[in-house]
Structure 1
Amino acid sequence: MSKNVIVIGGGIIGLCSAYYLQKEGCQVTVVDQSNMDSGASYVNAGYLSPSHIIPLSAPGVMKKGIKWMFNSSSPLYIKPRLDTDFLRWTLAFNKSCNAGHVKKAIPIIKEISVLSQDLYDDIKTAENFTFHYEKKGLLMLCQTEKMLEEEIKTVHLAQQEGLEAEEITLKELHKLEPNVTLNVKGAIYYKCDSHSTPNEFMNELKAYLKNTGVQFFANEKVEDIETNKDKITSVITNKQKLSGDEFVLAAGSWSALISKKLDLKLLLQAGKGYRINTQQPTGIRIPSILAEAKVAVTPMNGFTRFAGTMEIAGINQNINKVRVEAIANAAHRYYPEIELTEQEKDNAACGLRPVSPDGMPYIGKSSKCENLTIATGHAMMGWSMGTATGKLVAETIIGKKPSLDMTMFNPDRKF
C-alpha cells in the first residue's frame, strides 16, 4: 500500500530514506530548514568504513574527554555547561563507556557499515550515477609505538569480524604511498574500506529523487507538530502545513529539539567537525587517519580534504580557528611537505554530527508515536551508515522484515 511520507531532514540519512521509500512506491516529501547544500553531509571525510567498529563511547574516552576539556585544540572537546539535556547525555555517555557495551556493539556496527557499503554499490549501478567512489582502503598512520599497539589490538578485533585488515611495514607503506613523505612509526591497512566525494553523491541523489517525484521544501523550519492521540497528523513549518501517513525524523543534531514537540526525550548532542580542502597536489593516494591527532585525510575528486575533531558544545556553527589550526598542524606533522595555506584555513567549514550517548544510531519507531520513524544519532558514521539506515527506515514503514537486527538501534532504549 502506497503511503504519504514526510521526511524531516535533507541530509544523507533523510535522502537515503527518501530513496528507499520511493522505491517502495511511497509518495515522499523532504523538508529541511537549510538550503540542503551544506553541513555534515557535505563536509565529512567521505569514508565508507567497516573498519570503524569501535563506538565513540569506549572505555577511557570519558577520562580523556575530561582531560581534554581544558584544551580547546584537543581531538575531543566537551564544553562544560549547565544544561539539563547535556548533563543527562553526559551521564548516559559515561555509563556506556565500558568493555561490555563495546563487545556488543562491534558486530552490529560492522554489519550496518558493510551493508551500507554494498548499497552504495547497488545505487551507483542501478541509477547509473557517476559520483566519485573508490575502493583503495584506509591507512591508520601512527607516530608513536603506544598508538600503534592500540591500533594493532583493533586490527585483531576487525579480523575476528572477518574484515580485511593488517599491520604493514614502513616499506609496504611506501609502496602504497610512493609520492608522499610520511613522518610515522608504523601503519595499519584496512583494505575493506572505501571513500567518496560527498557533495557529488548528494547532488546526484537529490537530482534523481526530484526526477522521480519526491517533493523538496528547502529553507523550511519545522515549528510545530500536530497529533491526534498517538499519531502525528501534520508538521507545521514557517511556511505551510504538511500532512502525511508516516513521518521520518532525520534532522541530525536538530532531531532532539524537534522530538521535544512530541514529548520524546531523545538523548542527543551535536558534535561539530571541521574540514579544510586543498587543491595543492599532495600526492596522497589512499585515505588515512592520523591516529594520534584523530584527523582524516581523503583524496577526493580534484582536491584533498583534511577533516576531524569532535567538539560537543551545543548547536552552533561557529568556526573555532584554534581547532582548524590543530587540523592543519596535524597534517604538517604527519606529511612534512604539506603546508596548508592561510586562505585554505580561512575557507574551513564545519558540520554538526548527531551523537547518541552510546555511539549507536537511533533507527526505528518509538512506542510513544506509532507513525514516527526516527533515524539519527550516527555521530561520525552517518556517511558510512547512510544507505543502510535509509533501507531500514523504508522497511520499518512498509512493514517488511528488516535487513538487520535493529534491537541496539531502538530509540526507546535505556541508558
Structure 2
Amino acid sequence: MSKNILIIGGGISGLCSAYFLQKEGHQVTVIDASDITSGASFVNAGFITPSHIIPLASPGMIATGIKMMFNSASPFYMKPRWDIDFFKWAWSFHKSSTAKKVEKAIPVIKDINIISRELFQDIKSSGDLGEFQLERKGLLMLYQSAEAYEKERKVAKRAADLGLEVSELDKSGLSKIEPNVQIDAKGAINYECDGHTTPTQIMPKLVSFLKSVGVEIRTKETVQDLEILGTKISHVRTNKFSYEPDELVMAAGAWSGLVAKKMGIKLLMQGGKGYRINVERSTGIGMPAILMEAKMAVTPMVGFTRFAGTMEFSGNNSLVRKERVRAIANGAQKFYPDLKISQEETASATTGLRPVTPDGLPYIGRSSKVDNVVFATGHAMMGWSLGPATGKLVSEIIDGKKTAMKIGAFSPDRKF
C-alpha cells in the first residue's frame, strides 16, 4: 500500500531512502535545511569501504582525543567546551571503546558495507542516474613506519579472515600500481575489496532523478515543531509548510539529535567535522589511499584529486580552521613529495559534519517510543559508503519486509 513519506534530510542517506521508497510506489517528500549542494555528502572522500571494519569508538581513542585536545591542528580534535550533551556522548564513547565491543561490531560493519557496495553497482547498472564514476581499484593504506604497518597488518588479517580481498605491496609493487607519482612510503596494504566515486557527481544526478520520478525535494526548509498524537507523529511543521506523513524518515545527519528531541527521543550524537581540499590539476595519483601517519584520505575523482581528513568535535558549525587545512596539505606533501598544494587550493577548502554515535555504528530502524519514525543517521565516517544500504533497509522496514541483514545493532534505542 502506497504511503505518504516525509524524509528529513537530503544527504546521501535521505536521498537513497527516497530512491528505494519511490521504487516501492510510495509518495515521497524530502526536506533539507540547505540547498543540497554542500555538507558531508559533498565533501567526503567518496570511498566505498568494506575494509573499514573498525569503528571510530575503539580502545585508546578517548585518550588520544584528550592528548590532542589543545592542538587544533591534530587529526583527532575535541575542542574544550562546556556542553552537557557532549559530555554524555563522550562518556558513552569511552564506554563503547572496548576490544569486546569492537569485535562485536566488526562483522556488522563488514556486512552492511558489502550490501551497500553491491547496491552502488545496482544503481549504476539500472541507468537511473546516467553515467557516473564507480571504480573498484582498491584502497591503499600507505605507511612510512614499521609501527603503522604492524597496526594495519592486524586489521588486514582480520579483514582477510572475514573474506575480504587484501594484498600487500612493497616499495617496488607500489611504484608499479602508481607509476605516475612519486610516493614516499615503505609500502602499502591494498584493500582490493574497496571502491571509490565522485560524490559531487552523484549527488546532483540523484536529486535530478528523484525529481523526474515524482519525489518532491524542498530545500531551505527547517523543522520547527512536531505534533505527536498517541504514539505517532501526526504533523511536522517547518518554516514553510505543514505535513501529515504516514511515515517519517529521520536522516538529518549531525542535526538528527536536535530533531529527535522534539519527539522526546534522546539520540546521543555529535557532529564530527571533516575537511577537504580539491586539486583541479593533474597530480599523477591514480589510486585512492589513506596516508596512515597523516591520518587523511586521497581520492582521484572526476576532474580533480581530493585530499580529505580530520575528525573535529567543536559543535555543529561550518567554521574552517586554517591550521587544520594546512595540516592536510602538509600531510599530502609528506607522502607525495613532488606535490605542492597551493595557497589558492587551501583557501577553497570546505567542511562537512559527519553524525557520530558513541559506538561508531549508525542508527537505522525504529524507536519503541514513536511508531511511525525510521531513523537513518549516525554513520560517522562511513556515511557515503553506507548510503545505499541504509536507504534499502529503510524501505524494507517501512514495507514490513525481511531486512537484508539483522539490524538490532543499529537500534536507536540501544544502550551504551
The aligned residue for residue 59 of structure 2 is 59
Give 1:376 shift.
0.5
User: How do 1:305-384 and structure 2 match up within 5 A?
Assistant: 305-384=306-385
Give 1:279 shift.
1.4
Matched residue type, 2:232? K
Find the residue that maps to 1:172 and give its secondary structure. helix
**TM-score normalised by length of structure 1:** 0.99
User: How do 1:7-406 and structure 2 match up within 5 A?
Assistant: 7-128=7-128, 129-406=130-407
Give 1:302 shift.
1.1
Find the residue that maps to 1:244 and give its secondary structure. coil
Matched residue type, 2:42? Y
The aligned residue for residue 412 of structure 2 is 411
Matched residue type, 1:119? L
Deviations 1:126-174 (A, max 9, x none): 1352111111110001111100110101100100110001221111111
Matched residue type, 1:369? V
CA distance in 2, matches of 1:220, 1:328: 35
Give 1:186 shift.
2.0
Find the residue that maps to 1:405 and give its secondary structure. coil
After superposing on structure 2, the runs of 4+ consecutive aligned residues of structure 1 that deviate more than 6 Å are none
CA distance in 2, matches of 1:28, 1:211: 12
Give 1:81 shift.
1.6
8 Å CA contact retained: 2:160, 2:166: yes
Find the residue that maps to 1:262 and give its secondary structure. coil
Deviations 1:219-265 (A, max 9, x none): 00111111101100121111110111000000000000101101110
Matched residue type, 1:399? G
CA distance in 2, matches of 1:277, 1:216: 28
Matched residue type, 2:336? Y
CA distance in 2, matches of 1:104, 1:293: 28
Matched residue type, 1:168? L
Q: Percent of counterpart pairs with the same letter?
A: 55
Give 1:355 shift.
0.1
8 Å CA contact retained: 2:170, 2:186: no
CA distance in 1, matches of 2:5, 2:119: 22
CA distance in 2, matches of 1:127, 1:362: 30
Deviations 1:275-321 (A, max 9, x none): 00001211001000001111100000011000000001110000000
Give 1:80 shift.
2.3
8 Å CA contact retained: 2:35, 2:219: yes
CA distance in 1, matches of 2:168, 2:369: 47
Matched residue type, 2:387? G
CA distance in 1, matches of 2:104, 2:169: 28
Matched residue type, 1:209? L
Matched residue type, 2:46? G
Matched residue type, 1:12? I
Deviations 1:94-124 (A, max 9, x none): 0011100111111000000010010000011
Give 1:388 shift.
0.2
Q: Which moved more, 1:298-307 or 1:162-171?
A: 162-171
CA distance in 2, matches of 1:68, 1:375: 31
Find the residue that maps to 2:371 and give its secondary structure. coil
CA distance in 2, matches of 1:21, 1:225: 22
The aligned residue for residue 4 of structure 2 is 4
Find the residue that maps to 1:85 and give its secondary structure. helix
**Structure 2 gap segments, 5+ residues each:** none
Find the residue that maps to 2:140 and give its secondary structure. strand
